[in-house]
């Protein structure tokens, strides 16, 4: 059972933990103030919405889901999804996606799944993001489970084995689905790639036969595309600072990214769900080693995400500007190009560093999905 004590360090809250966490959120002035600013709910309304919640499902349906829907309404031009017909309401899946926003990638997916009568996901979240008690309470009430970061190699092996077993049991118990990013941390440069180490972790539990092992997990590659990349300026500054070898990651930077991702304008947003078929997995058994099979599986997932990533005018504009061409001018208007340049200029003027390098990093964030689509 996924509530067993061996999972206590990583699992969502259960039993009496739920009401205790709810009560702590009701008393946390930092949480109440931030949440009020984000959602435009007054503090009394937040506390009243939390009162009486006794399960994670109630928390998601009555509190967090509506809050995310409110943010969708105020910070996007709408969210669309394709591929939902592939989701069987009676099965649990691993939705393995590219990762662009710390909170919203999985939170919006849950809103979309629930709107179509499907199960919520238990979302993976890095332990580095559990900066304080109220964040831990919030995400564990929202059925997140923890991926441990910054641990020794020996600890990582043990942690990976527990995580692998936990995820498989969630799927096999058929209570929830799972959302997990295809890589550790968000994609900062727009070049979405599946980390083989993630697939190795998943394989640590289950049957020894490669294809049968992954068939059990019902992996659904998920492509997430924001018209305006969440935290694009913050990502640009971080990537620039890393080129100088000066970047130091801090809890405050993580908090800033979470709040910026939630509050900033994102334009149109599109999700696409794709299948990983039994036939594709069966073919991998013919490869000579598990290492080859893992790499091939990562390539299959990447291809599905790159193919189904919704390319917006901003992506095509950035590609043409970065390469000084008009290759994709048919995909955008002069007005859209002018607006993109105006927004980019406003954001880059607020950053510190060589403006030419900053511009190129910013453009690459939007241009790399186009490059990946050309390489299919």
Tally the domains of the chain.
2
Q: Any idea what DSSP says for residue 198? A: H
Residue 1 is predicted with a pLDDT of: 67
pLDDT in tens, 3-12: 678 999 999 9
Q: Cβ contacts of residue 83 below 8 Å, gap of 6+?
A: 272, 273, 274, 308
Residues 279 and 168 in one domain: yes
Evaluate whether residue 250 is within a structural domain.
no
Residues 190 and 89 in one domain: yes
Residues 226 and 352 in one domain: no
Residues 224 and 332 in one domain: no
Evaluate whether residue 364 is within a structural domain.
yes
201 versus 247: which is more confidently predicted?
A: 201
Residues 285 and 342 in one domain: no
| Residue where a domain stops, chosen among 258, 288, 310 | 310
* Percent residues over pLDDT 70 in the chain: 99
Residue 253 is predicted with a pLDDT of: 93
Give the separation between CA 57 and CA 12, rounded to whole angstroms: 12
State mean pLDDT over 23-36: 97
Nearest to 362 by CA among 256, 240, 185: 240
Evaluate whether residue 259 is within a structural domain.
no
Residue 3 is predicted with a pLDDT of: 67
Residues 104 and 122 in one domain: yes
CA atoms within 13 A on the CB side of 342: 6
Evaluate whether residue 258 is within a structural domain.
no
Give the separation between CA 329 and CA 336, rounded to whole angstroms: 11
Q: Which domain holds residue 160?
A: 5-231+267-310
Residues 148 and 34 in one domain: yes
Residues 342 and 195 in one domain: no
200 versus 376: which is more confidently predicted?
A: 200
Residues 202 and 277 in one domain: yes
| Backbone phi and psi for residue 34, each to the nearest 5 degrees, phi listed first | -65, -45
State mean pLDDT over 107-114: 97
pLDDT in tens, 307-345: 999 999 999 999 999 999 999 999 999 999 999 999 999
Residue 92 is predicted with a pLDDT of: 97
Which band of pLDDT confidence, cut at 50, 70 and 90, is reported for residue 2? low
Question: Cα Rg for the chain, rounded, in angstroms?
Answer: 21
CATH number at residue 12: 3.40.1130
Residues 363 and 272 in one domain: no
Residues 201 and 82 in one domain: yes
Residues 300 and 331 in one domain: no
Evaluate whether residue 363 is within a structural domain.
yes
State mean pLDDT over 113-128: 95
Evaluate whether residue 240 is within a structural domain.
no
State mean pLDDT over 203-212: 97
Residue 175 is predicted with a pLDDT of: 83
- Given a contact cutoff of 8 angstroms between Cβ atoms, the answer to whether 204 and 160 are in contact is yes
Q: Cβ contacts of residue 301 below 8 Å, gap of 6+?
A: 96, 182, 194, 219, 221, 276
The per-residue pLDDT of the chain, averaged, comes to 96
Which band of pLDDT confidence, cut at 50, 70 and 90, is reported for residue 98? very high
């Amino acid at each position: 059972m996924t509530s067993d004590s061996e999972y206590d360090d990583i699992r969502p809250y259960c039993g009496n933990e739920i009401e205790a966490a709810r009560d702590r959120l009701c008393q946390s002035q930092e949480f109440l103030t931030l949440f009020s600013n984000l959602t435009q709910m007054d503090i009394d309304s937040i506390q009243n919405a939390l009162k009486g919640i006794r399960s994670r499902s109630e928390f998601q349906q009555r509190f967090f889901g509506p809050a995310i829907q409110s943010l969708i309404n105020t910070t996007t031009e709408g969210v669309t999804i394709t591929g939902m017909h592939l989701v069987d309401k009676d099965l649990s899946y691993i939705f393995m996606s590219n990762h662009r926003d710390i909170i919203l990638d999985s939170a919006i997916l849950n809103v979309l799944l629930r709107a179509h009568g499907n199960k919520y996901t238990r979302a993976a979240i890095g332990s580095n993001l559990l900066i304080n008690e109220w964040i831990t309470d919030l995400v564990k009430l929202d059925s997140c489970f923890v991926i441990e970061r910054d641990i020794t190699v020996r600890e990582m092996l043990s942690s990976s084995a527990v995580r692998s077993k936990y995820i498989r049991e969630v799927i096999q118990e058929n209570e929830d689905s799972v959302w997990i990013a295809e890589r550790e941390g968000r994609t900062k440069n727009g070049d979405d790639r599946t980390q083989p180490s993630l697939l190795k972790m998943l394989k640590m539990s289950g049957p020894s036969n490669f294809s049968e092992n992954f068939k059990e997990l019902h992996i659904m590659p998920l492509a997430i595309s924001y018209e305006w990349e969440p935290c694009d300026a913050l990502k640009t500054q971080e990537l620039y600072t890393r080129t100088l070898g000066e970047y130091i990651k801090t809890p405050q930077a993580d908090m800033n990214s979470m709040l910026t991702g939630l509050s900033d304008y994102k334009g149109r947003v599109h999700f696409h769900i794709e299948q990983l078929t039994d036939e594709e997995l069966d073919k991998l058994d013919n490869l000579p080693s598990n290492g080859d099979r893992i790499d091939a599986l990562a390539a299959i997932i990447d291809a599905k995400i790159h193919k189904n990533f919704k390319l917006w005018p901003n992506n095509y504009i950035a590609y043409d500007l970065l390469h000084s061409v008009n290759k994709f001018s048919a995909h955008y208007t002069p007005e859209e190009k002018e607006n993109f340049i105006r927004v980019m200029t406003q954001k880059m003027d607020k950053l510190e560093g060589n403006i030419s390098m900053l511009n190129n990093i910013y453009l690459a964030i939007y241009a790399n999905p186009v490059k990946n689509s050309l390489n299919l």
